[in-house]
Amino acid sequence: MSQWYPKKGRVIFHLDMNSFYASVEMAYNPSLKGRPLAIAGNPGERKGIIVTSSYEARAKGVKTTMPLWQARKLCPELIVLPPNFDRYRTASREMFRMLAEITPYVQPVSIDEGYMDITDSEKHGTPIEIANNLQQRIQQELDLPCSIGIAPNKFLAKMASDMKKPMGITILRKRDIQHKLWPLPLEEMYGVGAKTAEKLRKIDMETIGDLANGDVYQLKSVLGINGERLKNRANGIDTRPVDPDAVHEFKSIGSSQTLPQDTTDETDIKALMNLLADNVVRRMKRKQAAGRSVQIMIRYFDHKTVTRSKKLQRYIETKEDILGVASDLFQKHWNLEPIRLLGITVQDVEEKQNIAQQLDLFTYQKEAGKEKLYTAIDELSEKFGKNPFVRLHNEDKTEQPRTSFQKDFLDDYKR
């Protein structure tokens, strides 16, 4: 057994759920299995964008971020469902609980993927036995497929999990990288996007191997410190630990939403701003946090997107404060053209326990008096999914389903 667990090195898993949203829908409704299925944001109200699709749909050319009309043209029999994030969070929570039964060193990075450090998990078997058992358990108990990468560090584990889908298990050692990674094009390397690849091609780099063997000073001149970091990764060097607390290291909390149709109607815009502020405040309370900057994002009918922010003198956390700053920013920077999407984000976020506040007696008594009310509302919001008192103020009548997953839910599996 000991030969599978190095004395100095680490054994890292990267677990990636396969076609997660579509797979969850198939688990809830088995009649969808084997059929081309896509999840799209608000498909009944807007042409929509594909969020994810089943492998049967992918075989027909359907891809993530593809416009729904184009997907239907490629696959007329495509079944389209709106996202059900409560359902996906439930599945995610159960999956991460299974990981945590093997090791306490579990780091969720999104709703459908995470890292595990199993270096001290010999009692559960060899790494390949652990991976097989975990994959089969998730399949049997949740009816969901996943792929697992096994490697000595996080970067190589991530690359390995992408090599075989669905239901793959891949081992990637440092000695394998020259023939398994280096021949691949730059875009297939985790951490290299289209813009970075374009910059690298301007200095005659086409493959991961070119990056691995590139001149570090030239890379830093083109990409800054990230150039050296990417060169190290391409050579299989990654010292980052699997950090179970990384999910708490948040610097911003935001919410954005696409409108049912492009609009200049200020009533609709105000209602959405109210909803977004409610979402942000609920998440900040969940994290017991406050922030010192507010940013708005406006995406117009032609997809042109602008962001504007304001740095504040003090930390804020209430809806009144956040919405006030966001509304001022919006009024100053909206060009009166039709709006497709709005977003509100609180930045420079800190947990309140870390914020040294000097409250005078009046302020302290005022805030303390509200605390029981806030707690009661939060408990009801968690139970019923939204603030049940909002309708008393006749707000948020146009609330739409959200189409993005918030990372502040990633530690739910510990509860």
**Which residue numbers are catalytic?**
113
Tell me the two tokens of residue 50: 């594909």
How would you classify the pairing of strands 339-347 and 252-263? antiparallel
The three-state DSSP-derived secondary structure of 362-387 is HHHHHHHHHHHHHHHHHHHHHHHCCC
The position carrying tokens 């922030």 is 291
Q: CA-CA distance, 139 to 135, in Å (whole number)?
A: 6
In what side-by-side order are the strands of the sheet with 113-117?
A: 106-110, 113-117, 12-17, 146-151, 169-171
Q: CA-CA distance, 411 to 415, in Å (whole number)?
A: 8
Q: CA-CA distance, 178 to 182, in Å (whole number)?
A: 5
Burial 50-77, CB ≥16 within 10 A → b, else e: bbbbbbbbbeeebeeebebeebbeebee
Q: Which residues contact 240 (CB under 8 A, 6 or more apart)?
A: 153, 154, 155
Residue 112, annotated as binding a ligand: yes
Q: CA-CA distance, 321 to 362, in Å (whole number)?
A: 19
Count the Cβ atoms, other than its own, within 10 Å of residue 119.
Answer: 18
The position carrying tokens 């009649």 is 31
Which residue type does 212 have? A
Q: CA-CA distance, 258 to 236, in Å (whole number)?
A: 40
| CA 155 to chain CA centroid, nearest Å | 18
Residue 204, annotated as binding a ligand: no
Per-residue CA distances from 80 to 38, 43, 77 (Å): 5, 7, 9
Query: Nearest CA to 84 among 43, 24, 30?
Result: 24
Residues annotated in a binding site for Mg(2+):
16, 112
Residues annotated in a binding site:
16, 112
